[in-house]
Amino acid sequence: MSNKFDDERISEALDLLNEVAKDKKAELREMIHTKYADLRSAVGGAAGKAQHDVSATYHHSMEKVKDIAGELDEGVHRNPWPYIGGTALGCLILGYIMGRSKRS
């Protein structure tokens, strides 16, 4: 008889533990959902700001490159000989470096 009584008590204890586990599981799930939503909104806000910053930097850089290219084009058209001489000198140096023997 004590065996049946022990089985009932064990069964009751297991039922109680299952109920507590279900409550804690729901509580834990809700907490994770809330924290995940907070994290998602924080990351989303940071990602949006980063995307805006990158886009603004890209457009600013493109404007700067166009300005520099325009100035360079103007300078080459006004006085092309220094650019031609500089290019020839650069090619001569590059040819000398690449043409040297590797056995030195």
Count how many domains the chain has. 1
pLDDT in tens, 12-35: 878 878 887 777 777 888 887 777
Q: Decide if 37 is inside a domain.
A: yes
Domain that holds residue 60: 2-79
Q: Decide if 44 is inside a domain.
A: yes
pLDDT at 79: 93
Query: How many other CB atoms are there within 10 angstroms of residue 29's CB atom?
Result: 10
Q: Decide if 13 is inside a domain.
A: yes
3-state helix, strand, coil in the chain (%, to 5): 90, 0, 10
Confidence band of 9 (pLDDT split at 50, 70, 90): confident
Q: Decide if 39 is inside a domain.
A: yes
Q: Decide if 16 is inside a domain.
A: yes
